[in-house]
Amino acid sequence: MSNMSIGGKARHESIVDEVSSWLTRSADEVDHLLATDRRRIVAAIEELNNDARLGDANAYYRQQLLLSRIYQTTMQISYEPTAEGSALLHEVTRLLEVAMIASEDRWIEPGTLESAPTVPAEYLSWLKRLARNHRAFKHPYYTEFINRRAQREDLRTYVIQESLVDGRFDDFLALMQVGTSGPAKMEIANNFWDEMGNGNPESVHTHLFSKIYEVFDVRQEELEDALSASDLLSGNLAVLLCRYRHMYPESVGYLGMTEWLAPDRFRNVIRAWERLGLPDVGITYHRLHVTVDSQHAAGWFHNVVLPAARSDYMRRGIARGALWRVNSSSRHLDERLANTRFAAERSA
């Protein structure tokens, strides 16, 4: 590591700490900084983004950590003022978002989006084929590691790593359906209502998920430190796509692909759960998703993707979001697999 990047690391930590410290101040208070500190802050964030782009792992981690903290202020209820809404905070957020978008776009094979068929039914088949042939589809992290090898501690790690998506899937759906209408709106709303246990508090998915946390004695305080850049990214991408109406097509692709991949993945989790004799709540939660998510994926393709696929803009965005999901998921699972004892044993 060169001296420059050591200096870079300290600067990255310092700007992330600085912006994080705003989050519990009011937006008005933060915006009084604008006049004097704006340039310096923007420059520091641009440096962070630039270093992340050039492959600096620490910069990438800090970038995703900061975005994840900022997004928490937009996804959690606070009992005291937050900087949410601040113009300066939004400018920082936007720089991080634009960098993340550009980074995900670079992972898409050039020409892929352009090769999509224009007829909706053909487009849908093409999209499914793309996903079925992707490494993310039956990833060895699930089919081998989780299925056959994972121990109790590995499943504990797994549920922590999934927290930024599974722990708030209902809110992603609520956000992404804003502004939709007709069958698409009903499909997403139905999906949301399933997440809400169809009105039965004991069956609310996030409630079941929190019960799994109790099984493993996972505390909120330990979450942030336990998450890698890839864990953070997968939550950040979902928030990004659901919070903006102009990213509705990408959210359709991203969340649709997430639900489509879930049943097969969760079957492996259920087998691990049974193999290890862990408490039933984990089986209940994952089995629910195996049944319900297969129906949702089918409904999603029929009621959300197909009607939208008449528009060029929508087709491109849906495919882009779906590719962001499978690409980031397979990088994520490769990384997880490389970090398991299973991998350590194999390479020993």
* String marking each residue 123-162 x if it binds its own copies according to CB under 8 A: ----------------------------------------
What is the dihedral sign for C-alpha 19, 20, 21, 25? positive
- The smaller minimum CB distance to its own copies, of residues 79 and 110, is found at 79
Say if residues 333 and 142 touch (Cβ distance below 8 Å): yes
- Taking CB under 8 A as the criterion, the residue among 244, 264, 290, 316 binding its own copies is 244
Identify which range of 123-131, 199-207, 229-237, 285-293 contacts its own copies by CB under 8 A.
Answer: 199-207
CA–CA–CA angle 260, 148, 267 (5° rounding): 25
Distances 229 to 34, 93, 161 between C-alpha atoms, Å: 29, 17, 11
- Give alpha helix (H) positions in 277-311: 280-299, 306-308
| Residue 85 makes contact with its own copies by CB under 8 A | yes
* String marking each residue 17-36 x if it binds its own copies according to CB under 8 A: ----------xx--x-----
| Residue 178 makes contact with its own copies by CB under 8 A | yes
- Taking CB under 8 A as the criterion, the residue among 110, 182, 221, 347 binding its own copies is 182
Identify which range of 54-62, 129-137, 195-203, 224-232 contacts its own copies by CB under 8 A.
Answer: 195-203
Least Å from the CB of residue 251 to its own copies: 10
- The smaller minimum CB distance to its own copies, of residues 26 and 284, is found at 26
| Residue 248 makes contact with its own copies by CB under 8 A | yes
Given phi > 0 = left and psi -120 to 50 = alpha, else beta, which region is 145?
alpha
Identify which range of 52-60, 146-154, 185-193, 226-234 contacts its own copies by CB under 8 A.
Answer: 185-193
Alpha-carbon distance of 276 to 215, in angstroms, equals 13
Closest CA relative to residue 299, chosen from 204, 193, 167, 209: 193
Q: What is the DSSP annotation of 198-236?
A: GG-GGG-HHHHHHHHHHHTT--HHHHHHH--HHHHHHHH
Q: What is the size of the binding site for its own copies (CB under 8 A)?
A: 51
Say if residues 174 and 192 touch (Cβ distance below 8 Å): yes
- Residues of the shown chain interacting with its own copies in the complex, contacts defined by CB under 8 A: 27-28, 31, 73-82, 84-87, 90-91, 94, 97-98, 170-171, 174-175, 177-183, 185-186, 189-190, 192-193, 196, 199, 201, 204, 206, 244-246, 248, 311, 313-314
